[in-house]
Structure 1
């Protein structure tokens, strides 16, 4: 059993407190931290959290609890200072994506975690679903041979979904696409080397910045990936992980994942089609700890055993996904010029 504290009890943090943490039996909560009396009162009133477990500062919680894991569920701009302090205090850390706003900050936290001998994990929850887990294994085992071309489409329509970030810079690339960028690296088992990206804001859009974009991404083993994403698409919505078509030397892999929204839910779907043969839908094994429960259970296991599982989204690993975000924004600002990932990673 890993003892943990949670820092950040706001809107998304409360969701962790209510819907995620109680389902991960390897974690024992010994503290909750937030500077807001309203947020603290909510977890006490609605979730029955003992007031003795609630603190107004991280340092106070560190003095009065024996936790070894910090669950950081704060707004993005607070990730860097809070995670840094957690590591300085000797905690292992799991933090929501994106774990920093700059590559330099990310590198600093990764180095600090290594110096402290602690685990730093980014909660890339889309990895913990039946579809991408199965596809990553198929590709790692050479199903259909060398990967050639990948197409990924993400379609949603913001105004009909209560999307709140109308004033957020880069609402597609910075807020949503990191999930897709991270899945690209995880599923392909490969790293990107360069990309070209264009973004735009459709007529009549309530967004102040660009909610739509296209990118071409080249990976180190030669795979070319075409990415199209939009918060302002009037077509049929895709699952949150998007719709994937992956062409390899000897066949095609098609899949989608996280097909849910509000009162709608559907399973992950995986279809295999060898060249010149019929397509076959593959049955997917359920995941015991899906989505965010999967990320929390994963770091609890690492803290407990010291064993790093396949696909573990460490801070070091996640620098590659953060670099794709930064590179795509940079390319779009340059009118679609190619950007080398190494330029971003420095």
Structure 2
């Protein structure tokens, strides 16, 4: 689909894609398949990579190595931020200041303080910023969620995540690759499944002797949620053999019984000593495509997406709190994480003379965005 391709939808939105690596190309394919979207530009620090990605898809669009320049030169109704995490804040901030809504790959930023800043900027400018928590969207997790509601709501939720990717690149060098780059998916899924928000965590992370990562690639964590429920996470990114789904392998106990989900399409439920039921999983939009649908619906004036920055920041805070707990060996309260992050963001806003950001942060009084 080129820039001049005919689109049948009444509303046609021009999309700038920032980041032309593996995930950037995956997002470009989602754009390619979606009527009502038109590629406007591709941005990457390596313009040859951007040009190759565009050419592979027959996109006759300009390429840039600078986001601000791209937004000045190319029409944009939304921007897909598919850069490395360290670049997320700068790219999203540039787009928001240009009044361009942003759908970003996770995490929104590497730190809660940066996410607080972006959330305040988004709220002050009235420009939507959302994170694509694509693993919240699947037919399997929807069926599992319905099962937990039917059982009266889970009070004990567990997931095991064991995979063995050989990524190479920045993930191999990260201090906490599993927690920072992957666990946010399962943490976000837990918030959705429990219908509650996390209050505290105790976590230990470590490196098995055979790990090929520089940082800790395995972790165990227990979260307490505001409704009294507990969520246990056990994971590894260096587990050869008997790997789980990329969504993890889940079990929940509730007042009316228990349910399991294999992370794909097998959802089981049992009430007390009754028969085990295999629940139907109804096909629906999943992954990136579902996250994009949710975002576009919000641009049309409907409900804010589940990954909207003020909501999604709680999933990021779970990661930051887990990393802190592992480093200190102590339980960490998420209120303390937000208080410190808010103070850092507020000090930065005052130092930069960003009154509209400072005003928003002050309204939240050291707590998460609201």
**Which aligned pairs between 1:134-213 and structure 2 lie closer than 5 A?**
134-139=143-148, 142-158=149-165, 161-162=166-167, 165-213=171-219
Q: TM-score, normalised by structure 2?
A: 0.84
Change (3 A) 1:172 1:59: closer
Contact 1:3 1:30 in 2 (8 A): yes
1: CA distance, partners of 2:333 / 2:78: 36
**Which aligned pairs between 1:238-317 and structure 2 lie closer than 5 A?**
238-257=244-263, 267-287=264-284, 289-303=285-299, 305-308=300-303, 312-317=306-311
Q: Is the aligned partner of 1:325 residue 2:319?
A: yes
Deviation at 1:138, TM superposition (A): 4.2
Deviation at 1:187, TM superposition (A): 1.5
Contact 2:14 2:76 in 1 (8 A): yes
Structure-2 residue corresponding to 1:16? 27
Regions of 4+ moved over 6 Å:
none
Structure-2 residue corresponding to 1:114? 123
2: CA distance, partners of 1:233 / 1:315: 32
| Greater alpha carbon shift after TM alignment, 67-76 vs 163-172 | 163-172
Structure-2 residue corresponding to 1:263? none
Specify which structure has the higher proportion of strand. 1
Structure-1 residue corresponding to 2:68? 59
2: CA distance, partners of 1:48 / 1:230: 39
2: CA distance, partners of 1:221 / 1:276: 26
Q: Secondary structure at the match of 1:126?
A: helix
Deviation at 1:172, TM superposition (A): 1.1
Contact 1:4 1:70 in 2 (8 A): yes
Deviation at 1:209, TM superposition (A): 1.8
Contact 1:27 1:300 in 2 (8 A): no
Contact 1:95 1:123 in 2 (8 A): yes
| Greater alpha carbon shift after TM alignment, 289-298 vs 121-130 | 289-298
Contact 1:24 1:297 in 2 (8 A): no
Q: What is the Cα-based RMSD across aligned positions, in Å?
A: 1.8
> Residue by residue, what CA displacement relative to the aligned partner does 1:19-42 show, whole Å, maximum 9, x if unpaired?
322122242222222232211220
1: CA distance, partners of 2:326 / 2:98: 39
Deviation at 1:43, TM superposition (A): 2.1
**Which aligned pairs between 1:24-103 and structure 2 lie closer than 5 A?**
24-51=34-61, 53-103=62-112
Contact 1:40 1:54 in 2 (8 A): yes
> Residue by residue, what CA displacement relative to the aligned partner does 1:287-321 show, whole Å, maximum 9, x if unpaired?
1x310111112111211x21116x62111111100
Change (3 A) 1:322 1:281: same
2: CA distance, partners of 1:147 / 1:204: 36
Deviation at 1:234, TM superposition (A): 4.3
